[in-house]
Copies of this chain bind each other. A is one copy, B any other.
Amino acid sequence: MDYKIALIGCGNVGEGFLQILHEKASWLKSQHDFEAKIVAICDKLKGNLIVPEGLELGKLLHLLNQRQRIDDYDPAQKKRFVDPLDMIESVDANIICELTPTDIKTAEPATSYIRKALRCGKHVVTSNKGPAALYYHELIKLAKQNHVFFRVEGTVMSGTPVFSLFEYGLSGNTVNSLRGILNGTTNFILSAMEEKDLSYEEALVEAQKLGYAETDPTADVEGFDAMAKLMILSNVIFDHPLRIEDIERKGIVTIKREDIKEALSQNRRLKLIAEINNQDGQIKARVFPQSLPLTDPLARVMGANNALVFELDPLGQVFIQGPGAGKKETGYAILNDILYIHKNLINQKNQ
Protein backbone atom coordinates (compact mmCIF):
# COMPACT_ATOMS: atom_id res chain seq x y z
CA MET A 1 0.00 0.00 0.00
CA ASP A 2 1.21 3.53 -0.55
CA TYR A 3 0.36 6.66 1.31
CA LYS A 4 0.27 10.36 0.60
CA ILE A 5 1.35 12.39 3.59
CA ALA A 6 1.12 16.12 4.35
CA LEU A 7 3.05 17.80 7.17
CA ILE A 8 1.71 20.78 9.10
CA GLY A 9 4.77 22.15 10.87
CA CYS A 10 8.28 21.10 9.97
CA GLY A 11 10.59 21.77 12.90
CA ASN A 12 12.80 19.19 14.61
CA VAL A 13 10.19 16.42 14.71
CA GLY A 14 9.21 16.89 11.08
CA GLU A 15 12.83 16.90 9.95
CA GLY A 16 13.60 13.81 12.03
CA PHE A 17 10.64 12.01 10.51
CA LEU A 18 11.56 12.96 6.93
CA GLN A 19 15.15 11.85 7.51
CA ILE A 20 14.05 8.40 8.73
CA LEU A 21 11.60 8.08 5.84
CA HIS A 22 14.40 8.92 3.41
CA GLU A 23 16.98 6.56 4.93
CA LYS A 24 14.56 3.67 5.43
CA ALA A 25 12.49 3.93 2.25
CA SER A 26 13.61 0.68 0.64
CA TRP A 27 13.66 -1.18 3.97
CA LEU A 28 10.09 -0.03 4.69
CA LYS A 29 9.03 -1.25 1.26
CA SER A 30 10.62 -4.69 1.63
CA GLN A 31 9.87 -5.20 5.33
CA HIS A 32 6.42 -3.67 5.66
CA ASP A 33 5.20 -3.31 2.07
CA PHE A 34 4.97 0.38 2.96
CA GLU A 35 5.51 3.27 0.56
CA ALA A 36 4.85 6.92 1.25
CA LYS A 37 5.04 10.17 -0.64
CA ILE A 38 5.29 13.55 1.02
CA VAL A 39 2.89 15.66 -1.02
CA ALA A 40 2.73 18.88 1.00
CA ILE A 41 4.42 20.76 3.84
CA CYS A 42 3.16 23.91 5.56
CA ASP A 43 5.48 25.66 7.97
CA LYS A 44 4.80 29.10 9.39
CA LEU A 45 8.47 30.07 9.41
CA LYS A 46 10.02 27.98 6.63
CA GLY A 47 7.38 28.32 3.92
CA ASN A 48 4.97 26.04 2.09
CA LEU A 49 5.31 23.46 -0.61
CA ILE A 50 2.78 21.39 -2.51
CA VAL A 51 4.12 18.62 -4.76
CA PRO A 52 1.26 16.30 -5.80
CA GLU A 53 3.61 13.71 -7.34
CA GLY A 54 5.60 13.49 -4.08
CA LEU A 55 8.72 15.46 -3.28
CA GLU A 56 12.31 14.27 -3.51
CA LEU A 57 13.29 13.81 0.12
CA GLY A 58 17.03 14.01 -0.49
CA LYS A 59 16.71 17.39 -2.12
CA LEU A 60 14.44 18.77 0.60
CA LEU A 61 16.59 17.45 3.46
CA HIS A 62 19.63 19.07 1.88
CA LEU A 63 17.83 22.44 1.91
CA LEU A 64 16.76 21.98 5.52
CA ASN A 65 20.32 21.04 6.52
CA GLN A 66 21.54 24.25 4.92
CA ARG A 67 18.88 26.11 6.92
CA GLN A 68 17.23 27.24 3.71
CA ARG A 69 13.45 27.66 3.36
CA ILE A 70 11.21 24.75 2.38
CA ASP A 71 9.84 26.69 -0.59
CA ASP A 72 13.37 27.06 -2.00
CA TYR A 73 12.62 23.55 -3.29
CA ASP A 74 10.35 25.07 -5.96
CA PRO A 75 10.93 28.78 -6.73
CA ALA A 76 7.45 29.02 -8.27
CA GLN A 77 5.95 28.44 -4.82
CA LYS A 78 8.29 30.91 -3.07
CA LYS A 79 6.60 32.83 -0.25
CA ARG A 80 3.18 31.98 -1.60
CA PHE A 81 0.56 32.23 1.15
CA VAL A 82 -1.16 28.95 1.99
CA ASP A 83 -3.80 28.70 4.71
CA PRO A 84 -3.10 25.36 6.46
CA LEU A 85 -6.85 24.79 6.92
CA ASP A 86 -7.43 25.14 3.16
CA MET A 87 -4.43 22.96 2.41
CA ILE A 88 -5.64 20.21 4.78
CA GLU A 89 -9.02 20.23 3.03
CA SER A 90 -7.85 20.40 -0.56
CA VAL A 91 -4.61 18.39 -0.56
CA ASP A 92 -4.74 14.89 -2.04
CA ALA A 93 -3.29 13.16 1.05
CA ASN A 94 -4.60 10.39 3.27
CA ILE A 95 -2.45 11.14 6.33
CA ILE A 96 -1.90 14.53 7.99
CA CYS A 97 1.05 14.84 10.39
CA GLU A 98 0.29 17.70 12.79
CA LEU A 99 3.72 18.74 14.06
CA THR A 100 3.31 22.38 15.14
CA PRO A 101 4.61 23.50 18.58
CA THR A 102 2.54 22.80 21.70
CA ASP A 103 0.39 25.52 23.24
CA ILE A 104 -0.85 23.86 26.40
CA LYS A 105 -3.34 26.64 27.27
CA THR A 106 -5.28 26.87 23.99
CA ALA A 107 -4.09 23.79 22.05
CA GLU A 108 -4.42 26.02 18.97
CA PRO A 109 -4.07 26.25 16.05
CA ALA A 110 -3.32 22.49 16.18
CA THR A 111 -6.77 21.42 17.35
CA SER A 112 -8.46 23.27 14.48
CA TYR A 113 -6.11 21.63 12.01
CA ILE A 114 -6.79 18.18 13.43
CA ARG A 115 -10.57 18.67 13.48
CA LYS A 116 -10.49 19.76 9.85
CA ALA A 117 -8.35 16.80 8.78
CA LEU A 118 -10.51 14.23 10.59
CA ARG A 119 -13.71 15.73 9.16
CA CYS A 120 -12.15 15.42 5.71
CA GLY A 121 -11.60 11.69 6.34
CA LYS A 122 -7.83 11.96 6.71
CA HIS A 123 -5.86 10.02 9.33
CA VAL A 124 -4.03 12.26 11.82
CA VAL A 125 -0.73 11.64 13.61
CA THR A 126 0.50 14.29 16.04
CA SER A 127 3.39 15.00 18.40
CA ASN A 128 1.61 18.11 19.72
CA LYS A 129 0.69 17.77 23.39
CA GLY A 130 -2.04 20.44 23.37
CA PRO A 131 -4.81 18.65 21.44
CA ALA A 132 -3.99 15.29 23.06
CA ALA A 133 -4.12 16.82 26.56
CA LEU A 134 -7.17 19.07 26.15
CA TYR A 135 -9.35 17.61 23.39
CA TYR A 136 -8.48 13.93 23.14
CA HIS A 137 -11.97 12.54 23.67
CA GLU A 138 -13.58 14.89 21.18
CA LEU A 139 -10.93 14.13 18.57
CA ILE A 140 -10.91 10.36 18.98
CA LYS A 141 -14.72 10.39 18.64
CA LEU A 142 -14.46 12.50 15.51
CA ALA A 143 -11.87 10.08 14.10
CA LYS A 144 -14.16 7.10 14.72
CA GLN A 145 -17.13 8.86 13.12
CA ASN A 146 -15.00 9.45 10.04
CA HIS A 147 -13.48 5.92 9.99
CA VAL A 148 -9.92 7.20 10.36
CA PHE A 149 -7.23 7.00 13.04
CA PHE A 150 -6.02 9.73 15.42
CA ARG A 151 -2.64 8.77 16.92
CA VAL A 152 -0.54 10.54 19.56
CA GLU A 153 2.44 8.23 20.33
CA GLY A 154 4.99 11.06 20.00
CA THR A 155 3.39 13.21 22.71
CA VAL A 156 4.73 11.14 25.65
CA MET A 157 8.28 9.63 25.90
CA SER A 158 8.99 10.57 22.27
CA GLY A 159 9.38 7.38 20.19
CA THR A 160 9.43 5.00 23.17
CA PRO A 161 6.13 3.14 22.82
CA VAL A 162 3.62 3.92 25.55
CA PHE A 163 0.20 4.00 23.92
CA SER A 164 0.79 1.15 21.49
CA LEU A 165 2.38 -0.86 24.34
CA PHE A 166 -0.69 -0.27 26.47
CA GLU A 167 -3.28 -0.82 23.75
CA TYR A 168 -1.91 -4.10 22.41
CA GLY A 169 0.07 -5.39 25.37
CA LEU A 170 -1.48 -4.27 28.65
CA SER A 171 -5.08 -3.22 28.18
CA GLY A 172 -6.46 -6.45 29.61
CA ASN A 173 -5.36 -5.11 33.01
CA THR A 174 -6.88 -2.56 35.31
CA VAL A 175 -4.19 0.07 35.92
CA ASN A 176 -3.74 0.82 39.61
CA SER A 177 -1.09 3.46 39.02
CA LEU A 178 1.38 4.97 36.59
CA ARG A 179 4.63 6.54 37.82
CA GLY A 180 7.14 7.98 35.47
CA ILE A 181 10.02 10.21 34.54
CA LEU A 182 8.37 11.98 31.63
CA ASN A 183 10.50 15.09 31.18
CA GLY A 184 13.98 14.57 29.77
CA THR A 185 15.20 18.13 30.46
CA THR A 186 14.67 18.01 34.22
CA ASN A 187 16.10 14.49 34.43
CA PHE A 188 19.16 15.69 32.53
CA ILE A 189 19.57 18.64 34.94
CA LEU A 190 19.21 16.48 38.06
CA SER A 191 21.64 13.90 36.62
CA ALA A 192 24.19 16.63 35.76
CA MET A 193 23.90 18.19 39.26
CA GLU A 194 24.81 14.80 40.74
CA GLU A 195 27.38 13.55 38.24
CA LYS A 196 29.22 16.85 37.70
CA ASP A 197 28.55 18.37 41.13
CA LEU A 198 26.79 21.43 39.64
CA SER A 199 24.29 23.87 41.11
CA TYR A 200 20.81 23.94 39.57
CA GLU A 201 21.70 27.13 37.67
CA GLU A 202 24.94 25.66 36.27
CA ALA A 203 23.21 22.45 35.19
CA LEU A 204 20.45 24.47 33.51
CA VAL A 205 23.02 26.43 31.49
CA GLU A 206 24.63 23.14 30.42
CA ALA A 207 21.23 21.73 29.38
CA GLN A 208 20.58 24.91 27.38
CA LYS A 209 23.98 24.68 25.66
CA LEU A 210 23.26 21.08 24.61
CA GLY A 211 19.79 21.94 23.33
CA TYR A 212 17.98 19.96 26.06
CA ALA A 213 16.50 23.10 27.65
CA GLU A 214 14.94 26.11 25.99
CA THR A 215 15.92 29.74 26.57
CA ASP A 216 12.81 30.07 28.71
CA PRO A 217 12.91 26.74 30.56
CA THR A 218 9.70 27.30 32.54
CA ALA A 219 7.58 24.62 30.82
CA ASP A 220 10.12 21.95 31.72
CA VAL A 221 11.55 22.97 35.08
CA GLU A 222 8.23 24.02 36.63
CA GLY A 223 6.66 20.69 35.67
CA PHE A 224 4.15 21.95 33.06
CA ASP A 225 5.45 19.61 30.36
CA ALA A 226 5.19 16.55 32.64
CA MET A 227 1.72 17.75 33.69
CA ALA A 228 0.53 17.88 30.06
CA LYS A 229 1.86 14.35 29.57
CA LEU A 230 -0.09 13.14 32.61
CA MET A 231 -3.24 14.65 31.11
CA ILE A 232 -2.60 12.69 27.91
CA LEU A 233 -1.88 9.44 29.79
CA SER A 234 -5.06 9.94 31.79
CA ASN A 235 -7.08 10.52 28.61
CA VAL A 236 -5.75 7.50 26.76
CA ILE A 237 -5.13 4.98 29.54
CA PHE A 238 -7.72 5.88 32.17
CA ASP A 239 -10.26 7.33 29.73
CA HIS A 240 -10.50 10.16 32.27
CA PRO A 241 -9.95 13.81 31.29
CA LEU A 242 -7.99 15.80 33.89
CA ARG A 243 -8.10 19.58 34.15
CA ILE A 244 -4.91 21.54 34.78
CA GLU A 245 -6.27 22.58 38.18
CA ASP A 246 -6.78 18.90 39.14
CA ILE A 247 -3.05 18.20 39.04
CA GLU A 248 -0.69 19.01 41.91
CA ARG A 249 2.50 20.38 40.41
CA LYS A 250 5.94 21.24 41.78
CA GLY A 251 9.08 21.64 39.68
CA ILE A 252 12.80 21.31 40.39
CA VAL A 253 13.93 24.98 40.63
CA THR A 254 14.34 24.97 44.40
CA ILE A 255 16.46 21.79 44.50
CA LYS A 256 19.96 22.39 45.86
CA ARG A 257 23.15 20.46 45.28
CA GLU A 258 23.03 19.60 49.00
CA ASP A 259 19.58 18.02 48.68
CA ILE A 260 20.94 15.68 46.03
CA LYS A 261 23.97 14.77 48.14
CA GLU A 262 21.89 14.18 51.23
CA ALA A 263 19.55 11.84 49.34
CA LEU A 264 22.51 9.89 47.93
CA SER A 265 24.04 9.51 51.40
CA GLN A 266 20.83 7.62 52.26
CA ASN A 267 21.00 5.50 49.07
CA ARG A 268 18.26 7.60 47.51
CA ARG A 269 18.05 9.81 44.44
CA LEU A 270 15.91 12.88 43.73
CA LYS A 271 13.75 12.57 40.61
CA LEU A 272 10.91 14.62 39.15
CA ILE A 273 8.12 12.04 39.27
CA ALA A 274 4.83 12.31 37.41
CA GLU A 275 2.20 9.93 38.72
CA ILE A 276 -1.44 8.97 38.41
CA ASN A 277 -3.14 6.89 41.05
CA ASN A 278 -6.41 5.11 40.45
CA GLN A 279 -8.13 4.48 43.78
CA ASP A 280 -11.31 2.61 42.87
CA GLY A 281 -11.95 4.87 39.92
CA GLN A 282 -10.85 8.08 41.74
CA ILE A 283 -8.03 9.43 39.56
CA LYS A 284 -5.38 11.58 41.29
CA ALA A 285 -2.40 13.04 39.47
CA ARG A 286 0.67 14.99 40.53
CA VAL A 287 4.11 16.09 39.40
CA PHE A 288 6.67 16.53 42.17
CA PRO A 289 10.32 15.88 43.09
CA GLN A 290 10.59 12.66 45.04
CA SER A 291 13.46 10.99 46.87
CA LEU A 292 13.48 7.40 45.59
CA PRO A 293 15.40 4.43 47.03
CA LEU A 294 18.04 3.26 44.54
CA THR A 295 16.18 -0.06 44.28
CA ASP A 296 13.30 1.76 42.54
CA PRO A 297 13.74 1.25 38.78
CA LEU A 298 12.96 4.94 38.21
CA ALA A 299 15.93 5.93 40.41
CA ARG A 300 18.26 4.38 37.80
CA VAL A 301 17.03 6.42 34.86
CA MET A 302 19.71 9.00 34.06
CA GLY A 303 20.20 11.81 31.55
CA ALA A 304 17.55 12.62 28.96
CA ASN A 305 15.92 9.18 29.21
CA ASN A 306 12.28 8.69 30.17
CA ALA A 307 10.62 5.74 31.89
CA LEU A 308 7.25 4.58 33.11
CA VAL A 309 6.15 2.01 35.70
CA PHE A 310 2.70 0.45 35.29
CA GLU A 311 1.12 -1.19 38.38
CA LEU A 312 -1.35 -3.62 36.90
CA ASP A 313 -3.96 -6.13 37.93
CA PRO A 314 -3.49 -9.04 37.25
CA LEU A 315 -0.07 -8.68 35.58
CA GLY A 316 1.84 -6.82 38.31
CA GLN A 317 4.64 -4.34 37.68
CA VAL A 318 5.83 -3.56 34.15
CA PHE A 319 8.61 -1.04 33.54
CA ILE A 320 9.60 0.54 30.23
CA GLN A 321 12.54 2.86 29.63
CA GLY A 322 13.74 4.57 26.47
CA PRO A 323 14.56 7.87 24.79
CA GLY A 324 12.37 10.76 25.96
CA ALA A 325 13.36 13.44 23.47
CA GLY A 326 15.33 14.06 20.30
CA LYS A 327 14.80 14.80 16.64
CA LYS A 328 15.10 11.26 15.30
CA GLU A 329 13.53 9.69 18.39
CA THR A 330 10.36 11.77 18.13
CA GLY A 331 10.47 11.54 14.34
CA TYR A 332 10.38 7.77 14.86
CA ALA A 333 7.13 8.14 16.84
CA ILE A 334 5.50 9.69 13.77
CA LEU A 335 6.66 6.82 11.58
CA ASN A 336 5.48 4.31 14.19
CA ASP A 337 1.97 5.80 14.27
CA ILE A 338 1.81 5.72 10.48
CA LEU A 339 2.91 2.07 10.48
CA TYR A 340 0.25 1.41 13.13
CA ILE A 341 -2.36 2.74 10.72
CA HIS A 342 -0.80 0.75 7.87
CA LYS A 343 -0.89 -2.53 9.86
CA ASN A 344 -4.51 -2.01 10.78
CA LEU A 345 -5.49 -1.31 7.20
CA ILE A 346 -3.58 -4.41 6.02
CA ASN A 347 -5.24 -6.60 8.67
CA GLN A 348 -8.61 -5.36 7.43
CA LYS A 349 -7.77 -6.26 3.87
CA ASN A 350 -6.44 -9.72 4.73
CA GLN A 351 -9.33 -11.00 6.81
Contacts and interface: CB of A to CB of B under 8 A. Distances in A.
Given A174-B27, A319-B321, A322-B318, A168 B160 contact: no
The quantity of this chain's copies bound in the complex is: 2
A169 B316 CA distance: 21
A165 B172 contact: no
Contact of A168 (B172, B320, B340): B340
Nearest to A307: B319
Contacts of A317: 322-323
Contact of A343 (B159, B161, B167): B167
A174 B32 CA distance: 12
A339 B171 contact: yes
A260 B340 CA distance: 44
Nearest to A305: B317
Nearest to A159: B315
A44 interface: no
Interface residues of A, number: 50
Nearest to A318: B322
A332 B320 contact: no
A290 interface: no
B173 A169 contact: no
Interface of A: 20, 23-24, 27-28, 31-32, 144, 147, 153, 159-161, 164-165, 167-174, 297, 300, 314-323, 328-329, 331-332, 335-336, 339-340, 343-345, 347-348, 350-351
B320 A320 contact: yes
A94 to B, nearest CB: 13
4 smallest beta-carbon distances between A and B, as pairs: A161-B169, A318-B322, A164-B168, A164-B169
A170 B331 CA distance: 13
A351 B297 contact: no
Nearest to A34: B172
Contacts of A167: 168, 343
A247 to B, nearest CB: 24
A340 to B, nearest CB: 6
Contacts of A27: 174
